Every structure is written in structure tokens, then in C-alpha cells.
């Protein structure tokens, strides 16, 4: 059964090389290969693999366009949303392929260590993704709305607005926790379920769970990227515009 922490494969100086780190490298290689293959022979009328990738990109672009506060925000938000979706989806779906968790070696006490383990089943990976998401959101907010409008969202001479701003600052830390633990919890739980079922009934029984985890892989990638998209859209909307919108709504 999979352990909570990733297993150590080797160590290069102070850098530990774990099986989830190796899978992260594999995911990056797959993403780069897809990008090169999709753009190798570009055609005005796409077909085959180019057509499939353009359909995926166009679908997410339309989603970002419907939520983004402005054209400027759209151009800056879309690359982040698309990158998060593709990385998380590829990491999730490749962790379900045959051979994942079965090839490895035994160490002391006859403990089996798989060479590859799903990257998103490691809290370190999901936490890093969440931190990148939140930091990028604030960077885009400053770029799109300006430093003055950005600071006015959190700090004000009005005591009520200052209190609300401090609550918003606290919520930024909860975003990191919710984004990272939601993704980690779903993928890790699926890994445990598949491992348990495979040990009980190795052939037919795991198939429904594999199909379910394939769906979870898509959903969790979409949830992470859409939440990031919404957070970025909110913070790239000028603060005085959002306040005016709230007043009109009320």
C-alpha cells in the first residue's frame, strides 16, 4: 500500500530524488513532447493531433474569456490556466498507466519501493502548485490594476474596509490550503483504493475504479485550473469596479 510520504530513490548531495519527483520529470517530458508534436507541421486547416489540441485549447480559452474581467486580463490569465490544467491532467492520467507502482526495487526489511509514483499524490507537489497559483494571481493583479489599486483592496483608512481587507489577506492563505489538499486528497485516496482493490482482485475488479479515477483526473485538473482562473479574474478586476458592482447588486 502506498505510504503517505513519497519514497526516496536516491540522493544527489542535499537533493533527495523521490519517485514522485521522477514522475514530475516524466510529466514535463510528456508535455514538451506534446507541444513539439502539435506544432511540428502547423496547417491553416488543422487535422489529426493538431486539431485535437486546438479543440482543447479553444474550449479552455472560451471558458477563460467568459470569466476574465478584460481583454488584458484574458491574455495574462489564459497561459496560467492552460498550463495548470495540462500539467495536472497529464500527471494524473499517466499515474494510472500500467507499470506505475509495479516496477521498482526492494530495500531493507523487504520493503518494495516503486520507481514511479503519481506526482499529484505527493503533498509537496500540490502545495507547490497552489503557492505558484496564489503568487501568480497577486503578480497579475499588480500588473493589470496597478500597485495603488492592489493595495487599496487590503488596506484602508476606513476601519470597516481595513477589517474586510485583513479578512481577504487571511483568505489568501486558506486558498493555498484548499487548492493543495483538495487535489492531493482526491488523487492519494484514489491511489490507495486502486492499490487495495488490485491486491484483492488483480484483473477485472480494478477496471471500474480505473475508469472512475480517469474521470477524477480530468475533474481535478479542471477544478484546480478553474479556481485559479476565478481567483485571477477577481483580483485583476479594479477594486473600485468590484465595489461598484457589489453596490448595484445589493
Neighbouring-strand partners of residue 105 = 113
Give the DSSP per-residue string, 22-71.
HHHHHHHHHHHHHHHHHTTT--SS--HHHHHHHHHHHHHHHHHHHH-SSH
Kind of pairing between the strands at 104-107 and 111-114 = antiparallel
The one-digit pLDDT tens for each residue of the chain (250 residues) are 457 778 888 888 888 888 899 999 999 999 999 888 888 877 877 777 888 888 888 888 888 888 876 777 788 888 999 999 999 999 999 988 877 777 777 877 777 788 888 899 999 999 999 999 999 999 998 888 888 888 888 888 888 888 888 888 888 889 999 999 999 999 988 888 887 887 777 677 777 888 888 899 999 999 999 999 999 888 888 766 554 444 333 3
Q: Are 95 and 192 in contact (CB under 8 A)?
A: no
- Quote the cell numbers at residue 222: 479542471
Give the DSSP per-residue string, the chain.
---SSPPEEEEETTEEEEHHHHHHHHHHHHHHHHHHHHTTT--SS--HHHHHHHHHHHHHHHHHHHH-SSHHHHHHHHHHHHHHHHHHHHHHHHTTSTTTTTSEEEEGGGEEEES---GGGSHHHHHHHHHHHHHHHHHHHHHHH-HHHHHHTT--SSHHHHHHHHHHHHHHHHHHHHHHHHHHHHHHHHHHHHHHHHHHS-SSTHHHHHHHHHHHHHHHHHHHHHHHHHHHHHHTS-HHHHHHHHHHH-
Residues 6+ apart with CB under 8 A from 89: 217, 218, 221
- Quote the cell numbers at residue 184: 492531493
Distance, CA of 215 to CA of 32 (rounded, Å):
23
Residues 6+ apart with CB under 8 A from 31: 86, 87, 90
20-78, pLDDT tens digit by residue?
Answer: 999 999 999 999 998 888 888 778 777 778 888 888 888 888 888 888 767 777 888 88
Q: Are 90 and 100 in contact (CB under 8 A)?
A: no
- Quote the cell numbers at residue 156: 484602508
Distance, CA of 227 to CA of 65 (rounded, Å):
14
Q: Of 26, 182, 40, nearest to 90 (Cα)?
A: 26
pLDDT at 244: 44
Residues constituting the chain = 250
The pLDDT > 70 percentage for the chain reads 94
131-145, pLDDT tens digit by residue?
Answer: 999 999 999 988 888
Amino acid at each position: 500500500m502506498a505510504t503517505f510520504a513519497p519514497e526516496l530513490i536516491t540522493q544527489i548531495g542535499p537533493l533527495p530524488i523521490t519517485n514522485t519527483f521522477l514522475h514530475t520529470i516524466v510529466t514535463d517530458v510528456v508535455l514538451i513532447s506534446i507541444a513539439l508534436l502539435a506544432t511540428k507541421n502547423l496547417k491553416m486547416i488543422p487535422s489529426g493531433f493538431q486539431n485535437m489540441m486546438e479543440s482543447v485549447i479553444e474550449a479552455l480559452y472560451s471558458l477563460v474569456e467568459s470569466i476574465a474581467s478584460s481583454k488584458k486580463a484574458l491574455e495574462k490569465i489564459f497561459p496560467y490556466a492552460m498550463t495548470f490544467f495540462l500539467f495536472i491532467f497529464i500527471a494524473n492520467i499517466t499515474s494510472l498507466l500500467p507499470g506505475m507502482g509495479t516496477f521498482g526495487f526492494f530495500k531493507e526489511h523487504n520493503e518494495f519501493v516503486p520507481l514511479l509514483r503519481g506526482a499529484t499524490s505527493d503533498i509537496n507537489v500540490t502545495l507547490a502548485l497552489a503557492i505558484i497559483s496564489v503568487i501568480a494571481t497577486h503578480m497579475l493583479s499588480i500588473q493589470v490594476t496597478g500597485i495603488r489599486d492592489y493595495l487599496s483592496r487590503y488596506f484602508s483608512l476606513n476601519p470597516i474596509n481595513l477589517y474586510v481587507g485583513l479578512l481577504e489577506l487571511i483568505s489568501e492563505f486558506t486558498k493555498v490550503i484548499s487548492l493543495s489538499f483538495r487535489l492531493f486528497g482526491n488523487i492519494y485516496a484514489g491511489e490507495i483504493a486502486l492499490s487495495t482493490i488490485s491486491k484483492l482482485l488483480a484483473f477485472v475488479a480494478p477496471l471500474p475504479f480505473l475508469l472512475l479515477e480517469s474521470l477524477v483526473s480530468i475533474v481535478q485538473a479542471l477544478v484546480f485550473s478553474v479556481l485559479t482562473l476565478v481567483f485571477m479574474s477577481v483580483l485583476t478586476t479594479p477594486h473600485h469596479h468590484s465595489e461598484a458592482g457589489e453596490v448595484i447588486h445589493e
